[in-house]
Structure 1
């Protein structure tokens, strides 16, 4: 695909736009292994088990609505994190390979897999450095997943997904996200300017896929995410997200700590984020070639 992906003028134009949108925050904050190694220590803490099970049910029902048979399927989970999809899919009988650039995330995944008595193969690599031929991934998988991950953030990353699949691909990402209100106040306090919402990514791969001739099936979910963070955790999380556009040093971190401490009774801050996420799935065998 790499030879023909950009032949269509519309594809070239959109690829250039997509690259430009992501350029500012590339290789910073949430785009780095260090950020996610930090997040792994508390990634699932405080989440409602019932809520997580309901969310997982919706995802699995959406995936199977494509006609894919999970039992026996070869599945590649790109940016797998702690295994929120890898492990359930393995429990349903899939042969799962999980790729992530965060060592701590994969350690947590393996611990969970052992506890749930399933096998998931893990690979510690950044997705954009994976050589499909060396790994034996080209056209190998019945399903390739990229779920709420920074691993697929530009056209070449998406192209790797397409080239690894011989059946279906699944992608989920932000449609909109309204941060906890403290982030907006904190940003104004630190930098004397309003926090500017960055473009959310779901429409970028969707439009690109459409121009390539694929017709993804889409569904949206609206939700409220709640988390309980210690002051130290809040400081590191806020620093990580703000670092995509601002230089964060020890003095800034000190100011973040001073700002949030009065709002964290008992040393715990209760954050609430309003989100809309999108899921899409498409069949690699069904493509309308553009001329």
Structure 2
């Protein structure tokens, strides 16, 4: 199959991301707080070990962190990098990243409110600018163009990670109860498109797989807003159904809180561009 065919498949499989910024703003507090937990710290350490072992994280290099969130990877990289630039579509994530950098006195970091999909490398002066272009669990790597733009920005290596399997216990149950069917997940499809497009573009990605489990704990009203927005991305926008979501979650709440357990398999994909 030719590269254009994979590009078309990926583009046609995209879900609606119109409210993506609002969703990540809504979840910024959770991500910032969770990033300080020991399990998340261990995951970051393992990713850094992977990068170092593949000679993908040079000392005193320049790094681009796409979808940087509250900046935890960026700050970890900044301990040895010359400069780290983090970008994200969520103003609240960027605010947290800047605050975290100031708290750690990482003045070799810069955080920008930008969408990777629409960013022009030439306008930013970012063509072949970075030794490592990094995207951890970033929904912005959502097309062939977005993927290959990583290669264009890198003069050394690229790394991305994404889910290949994921079970959100309550969200999947909620989808079945409200919409009468199991959710259609795209987990694994992104990996399929990514690997084939990279291979056909002359790159040789290395893939490793990692099991993960974690849980979310939200006040019920916040859970209602989060799940309603997530399900809107599946074109479920009917107001009556949103009311059903609220009713269902209120019944599931324990002392006003919703607990969501998640089990997942995550792929790490690393490749050299030079």
Same fold (TM over 0.5): yes
What whole-Å deviation, never above 9, does each CA across 1:163-193 have from its counterpart, x for those lacking one? 111111111111111112x222322222223
Aligned length: 272
How far has the Cα of 1:215 moved from its partner?
0.9
Aligned match of 1:177 in 130, 148, 166? 166
Q: For the Cα contact (< 8 Å) 2:163–2:187, is it kept in 1?
A: no
How far has the Cα of 1:250 moved from its partner?
4.3
| Compared CA separation, residues 26 and 82, structure 1 to 2 (3 A) | same
What whole-Å deviation, never above 9, does each CA across 1:61-85 have from its counterpart, x for those lacking one? 1111121344311001111111121
Q: Give the TM-score taking structure 2 as reference length.
A: 0.93
The gaps in structure 2 that reach 5 residues or longer are none
1:38 corresponds in structure 2 to 26
How far has the Cα of 1:47 moved from its partner?
6.3
Q: In structure 2, how many angstroms separate the alpha carbons of the residues matched to 1:277 and 1:43?
A: 18
How far has the Cα of 1:142 moved from its partner?
0.4
Q: For the Cα contact (< 8 Å) 1:74–1:143, is it kept in 2?
A: yes
1:74 maps onto 2:62 in alignment: yes
Q: For the Cα contact (< 8 Å) 1:74–1:141, is it kept in 2?
A: yes
Q: Give the TM-score taking structure 1 as reference length.
A: 0.88
What whole-Å deviation, never above 9, does each CA across 1:215-272 have from its counterpart, x for those lacking one? 1122111011111111112112211221122333543332212111232211111110
Q: For the Cα contact (< 8 Å) 2:60–2:81, is it kept in 1?
A: yes
Q: In structure 2, how many angstroms separate the alpha carbons of the residues matched to 1:197 and 1:133?
A: 35
1:13 corresponds in structure 2 to 5
How far has the Cα of 1:203 moved from its partner?
2.4
The gaps in structure 1 that reach 5 residues or longer are 1-8, 286-291
Q: In structure 1, how many angstroms separate the alpha carbons of the residues matched to 2:91 and 2:34?
A: 22
1:227 maps onto 2:227 in alignment: no
Aligned match of 2:16 in 26, 50, 61? 26
1:288 corresponds in structure 2 to none
1:259 maps onto 2:248 in alignment: yes
Q: For the Cα contact (< 8 Å) 1:87–1:113, is it kept in 2?
A: yes
Q: In structure 2, how many angstroms separate the alpha carbons of the residues matched to 1:274 and 1:152?
A: 22
Q: In structure 1, how many angstroms separate the alpha carbons of the residues matched to 2:86 and 2:159?
A: 14
1:244 maps onto 2:257 in alignment: no
Aligned match of 1:112 in 90, 100, 104? 100
1:146 maps onto 2:135 in alignment: yes
